[in-house]
Amino acid sequence: MAKSMARRQYIDVATGTAMKYVATGRIHPERADISFGPIVWRISEQERVKASCASSQVTILLELATIDGYITAHLAAEQFAHIVVGALGFSLGSGYSVELIQITEEDGTPHVFGVRPTCPTQGETPGFSPHNDVFNQAFTLANRDVFFRMALRDYLRAINNPVDCGAYCYRSIEAIKSSFSARSRDNGWAAMHASLGTDRSTIESTVKAFADPVRHGNWVGAKPSNTLQRWNMLKLTRDILFKYLEHERQADRSIATR
């Protein structure tokens, strides 16, 4: 009974239809000039999804009773877009990707998805202010440290990919661990924890619990995450990367003063 009531709250009472959301974005690379559709999924008598694309500009119309807001709409639209783009890319042997930029609610309210997430409870971002010193340090270290360079790459991917956020965050952390492993000749975790002040339980509960099923391709067993949980994954990963950056800077200073 509770489940059916929860489902009905996203049905427009006046019309008896599911609430509508429109997602718009791009298929990359844009120069591929992709066009398709419209393609329609009939979920039920009242529910449907329609996807179309012209000159690599993709539009997804969602009429689904299970959508409880624009964030869920964004995640759902992304999945339907990946169904089409994945099949098309596979058939053509081409590496296409999807970027959904905006969700528009039925009343016309737009929500633009940028490249910098914010904490849902405090409004902070993962950026540094001022950022110049951090940029210069990160640039210098990334030039000579392949572990840090690849960790940054996965961290940025985590920011832009809610579904794979945990997996990318964990691989980013593992890259830092592997840097210590290369020096300590063990698995690197103990050395990382000792050097950076991290701990196993926090990493496992915040990131690894969400990452493991996805890392092993077990999508059915994937643990769902909400906005706050994904924020916590990103924050922990960022903090570990910054601690490593500071650790390496201190190490460089120690060598320079010998």
Q: Is residue 241 part of a domain?
A: yes
Average pLDDT over residues 9-32: 74
Which one of 46, 81, 112 terminates a domain? 112
Q: How far apart are CA 10 and CA 5, in angstroms?
A: 9
Q: Is residue 125 part of a domain?
A: no
| Of 81, 74, 75, residue with least CA distance to 50 | 81
Q: What is the pLDDT of residue 61?
A: 96
pLDDT digits (tens, 9 = 90+) for 204-224: 999 999 999 999 999 999 999
DSSP state of 31: G
- Asked if residue 7 has pLDDT above 70, the reply is no
> At 184, is the pLDDT very low, low, confident or very high (cuts 50, 70, 90)?
confident
Q: Is residue 122 part of a domain?
A: no
Average pLDDT over residues 219-238: 94
pTM of the model as a whole: 0.82
Q: Are residues 24 and 65 in the same domain?
A: yes
Q: What is the pLDDT of residue 205?
A: 97
Q: How far apart are CA 128 and CA 135, in angstroms?
A: 9
Q: Are residues 177 and 243 in the same domain?
A: yes
Write the CB contacts of 206 (distance below 8 Å, at least 6 apart in sequence): 232, 233, 236
Q: Is residue 123 part of a domain?
A: no
Q: What is the pLDDT of residue 159?
A: 93
Contact 29, 89 (CB under 8 A): no
- Asked if residue 226 has pLDDT above 80, the reply is yes
Which one of 64, 83, 112 terminates a domain? 112
Q: Are residues 87 and 180 in the same domain?
A: no
pLDDT digits (tens, 9 = 90+) for 122-170: 889 999 999 999 999 999 999 999 999 999 999 999 998 888 999 999 9
Q: Are residues 81 and 180 in the same domain?
A: no
Q: Are residues 148 and 241 in the same domain?
A: yes
ω into 38 cis (within 30 of 0): yes
Q: What is the pLDDT of residue 256?
A: 63
Provide the number of structural domains found in the chain. 2
Residue range of the domain that includes 174: 132-256
Q: Is residue 69 part of a domain?
A: yes
Q: Are residues 97 and 142 in the same domain?
A: no
Q: Which amino acid is at 46?
A: Q
- Report the chain's mean pLDDT, rounded to a whole number: 89
Q: Is residue 53 part of a domain?
A: yes
Contact 56, 30 (CB under 8 A): yes
DSSP state of 30: G
pLDDT digits (tens, 9 = 90+) for 43-98: 988 899 999 999 999 999 999 988 888 999 999 999 999 999 999 999 999 999 99
Q: Are residues 106 and 151 in the same domain?
A: no
Q: Is residue 43 part of a domain?
A: yes
What is the DSSP code string of 197-253?
---HHHHIIIIIHHHHHHHTT-GGGPPP--HHHHHHHHHHHHHHHHHHHHHHHHHHH
What is the DSSP code string of 55-66?
TTEEEEEEE-TT
Q: How far apart are CA 101 and CA 82, in angstroms?
A: 14
